[in-house]
Structure 1
């Protein structure tokens, strides 16, 4: 069986697919690729089912050797990619010879790159998914040096396209605009319009659970203020893309590994496209929320 043998996983690489649905009542979140659009594009470029597992490479730095001839594509964050030392295109289909080294360099734009291999990464599924859930620890281990990742047969035929010109997994805008709809607890805010006033900065503590936002200390954009007695709510379900406001007034944008319930008000929910964009935000990046 063909495989990828990992020489260096970089700072943080996990196996991800579309996640595990139907277990929220057991406290298990969906998880899966943080930028679902980029993962789907990578799978499409190699002719995989959309559910096939890929590698989510955070920041870059992945080095892996092909066992057998492989067909791959890298999407999402803009990272320099080489095969046997030769640069190859972003969001394009590439054939990798047996024994060749695939290198995904440090991201120059965006945060998470997606490496799809024709046939899919075939690690054992847990609760119907091959996704690593970093919050609960469910799923395969975080990818480590020396790991041998078998390649499966989860394909739908040869890809109809070999380049994705519309891939927007990374964001070069000076201010990234995220769109949302009203949340179930938007009335908990003293000023419901406050989240859309001014800009936010991405906090360095952000991860696959959520993107933490903070106000720029050099600006005078107002903090978020909750109505008296509304800083906590009875524990209730939260969705992917939820914008939750803790008592600090610094919102959190929930990503793939978010908890299934929360006790702080959800004042907005990001659209699907904006949730993908949020997954590519890097610390210090400027964000603007819009409804």
Structure 2
């Protein structure tokens, strides 16, 4: 490529790509430019996320335009590359540390080592020797919290990802994908070839420094026969709490009910996903109806709702996928504030169509904030209610807020466009197939990519059963040489449509990884992302150009 390239990554982020190759010089330029842009305190810029040879600028389009940001980013890169750096951001060099990582290779800890031996034509011992020999550099943290992307892999060990991502990869797994090697900090889906595992904890949100590794660190893998338990690092106890009282006891948790808020921003550079409400509009509407800040913590329920008993007088509102809602066995309306007396039971049922419902309560659910957010990140076991979905017998607390229905809002008082959101959602759920608008992704700018984008919008896909808050997986394939394939790991955002090697698209949602190595052929426009969150297994979906 001839010089840096700016491309849209959805309509709330831009991607600045400096190269398609891994090099220390390029990565140093990426890190410096990212720090300077983030340190410039530009109104509307939310965070900057560096990668191997690219960086992503996340922004609020109501405050700053993508075109202005792109021009500013190119100007910044050019100035730093020419040696004309400015002290706008923190561009101080950090002395790298050397970190030793004990690894048990092969067997159940490295299930792909046997496959790699056949693919590479090497013995397993030779692969282990070559993998443990170099001193690696941490180029970026991404994909998952604390996941290090390491440079320095022996080129002879390069191997492709799995044809489709595994549904679950154990924590501490050491993998190879293309010319990259890295370590999975959490149990998660993933497409890297797993050759070993370590017992070290790579990321702990309660530590003073949550990430074990940082960009620029030096890493060496040490083969071991058995893994030892790592030393326990004391928690900082820095979760933020607010005054609250017990307000509900959970009698039935529902299928998957979690506390969410507006999302966890500012930590994508450490691989921490946005999280937060998948259907942000239904969530905000529920809060407004209860007289809350639109970003107050609320309960997100998937496919089957919760039944909870009130311990104090409260006002609740249920929004999202249309479903039966009862208080003490009497039907009540969705999308309206409802007064609930102490001792009464609120029962949210199962929607005939749609996927997610939201329950807000006057004062907002009260849980500790972790890394600046109350949202649950279940794969990382932090945030929300004890880092997990609610269970029978849990007691949920709420903060101070209005206790009479008259003190809250009504749908007629809700600002546009939320006022019309229930009708918009109902219309979308009534479509067959459901329609989502998309714009081209970074890999749709070539001739082959343009053809893939056209094929995406030229057929109907079906939502698979293994879809979740990380992403919606589809039945249906985009075939041809332009179809899936690996790219150098680079930032991704909720709404991006990735194309793995098997050609079956994946639409990323709010708990998705922060970077990935599959082609990004499209992105759902942000106005439609709340609609996408209401898709359930079996839904037929068509993508159309925005």
TM over 0.5: yes
Residue 239 of structure 1 is matched in structure 2 by 493
Residue 470 of structure 2 is matched in structure 1 by 209
Alignment map for 1:109-258 (pairs within 5 Å): 109-139=353-383, 140-153=387-400, 158-162=407-411, 166-167=421-422, 168-169=424-425, 171-186=429-444, 187=446, 189=449, 190-215=451-476, 223-227=478-482, 231-258=485-512
The question of whether the paired residues in 2 share the 8 Å contact of 1:43 and 1:117 is answered with: yes
Deviation at 1:191, TM superposition (A): 3.8
SS at match of 1:38: helix
Deviation at 1:160, TM superposition (A): 3.8
The question of whether the paired residues in 2 share the 8 Å contact of 1:19 and 1:131 is answered with: yes
Residue 232 of structure 2 is matched in structure 1 by none
Q: CA deviation digits over 1:225-244, x for unaligned, max 9? A: 3438x710111000110001
Alpha-carbon distance between aligned partners in 2 of 1:224 and 1:275, rounded to the nearest angstrom: 26
Alpha-carbon distance between aligned partners in 1 of 2:361 and 2:480, rounded to the nearest angstrom: 47
Deviation at 1:246, TM superposition (A): 0.4
* 2:345 pairs with one of 101, 113, 117: 101
Alpha-carbon distance between aligned partners in 1 of 2:506 and 2:388, rounded to the nearest angstrom: 26
- Going from structure 1 to structure 2, the CA distance change for 1:165 and 1:275 (only over 3 Å counts) comes to closer
Stretches of structure 2 that go unaligned for 5 or more consecutive residues are 1-244, 413-418
- Going from structure 1 to structure 2, the CA distance change for 1:143 and 1:226 (only over 3 Å counts) comes to farther
The question of whether the paired residues in 2 share the 8 Å contact of 1:134 and 1:208 is answered with: no
* 2:335 pairs with one of 85, 91, 100: 91
The question of whether the paired residues in 2 share the 8 Å contact of 1:2 and 1:69 is answered with: no
Q: CA deviation digits over 1:71-108, x for unaligned, max 9? A: 00000011100001110001111000111000001111
User: Higher helix share goes to which structure?
Assistant: 2
Question: How many positions carry a matched residue from both structures?
Answer: 283
Tell me the C-alpha RMSD between the 2 structures. Answer: 1.9
SS at match of 2:281: helix
- Going from structure 1 to structure 2, the CA distance change for 1:226 and 1:129 (only over 3 Å counts) comes to farther
Deviation at 1:2, TM superposition (A): 4.5
Alpha-carbon distance between aligned partners in 1 of 2:291 and 2:303, rounded to the nearest angstrom: 25
- Going from structure 1 to structure 2, the CA distance change for 1:223 and 1:10 (only over 3 Å counts) comes to same
Deviation at 1:134, TM superposition (A): 2.8
Deviation at 1:169, TM superposition (A): 4.2
Q: Which has the higher contact order (CA 8 A, sep 6+)?
A: 1
* 1:261 pairs with one of 515, 521, 526: 515
Alignment map for 1:31-110 (pairs within 5 Å): 31-110=275-354
Q: CA deviation digits over 1:125-182, x for unaligned, max 9? A: 1111111113333313211111111011368x94342465541445122211000111
The question of whether the paired residues in 1 share the 8 Å contact of 2:453 and 2:522 is answered with: no
Q: What TM-score results when the alignment is normalised by the length of structure 2? A: 0.50
Deviation at 1:123, TM superposition (A): 1.0
Q: CA deviation digits over 1:198-220, x for unaligned, max 9? A: 211111110000001112xxxxx
Residue 287 of structure 1 is matched in structure 2 by 541
Alpha-carbon distance between aligned partners in 2 of 1:138 and 1:236, rounded to the nearest angstrom: 25
Alpha-carbon distance between aligned partners in 2 of 1:47 and 1:67, rounded to the nearest angstrom: 20
SS at match of 1:201: strand
Stretches of structure 1 that go unaligned for 5 or more consecutive residues are 216-221
The question of whether the paired residues in 1 share the 8 Å contact of 2:282 and 2:421 is answered with: no
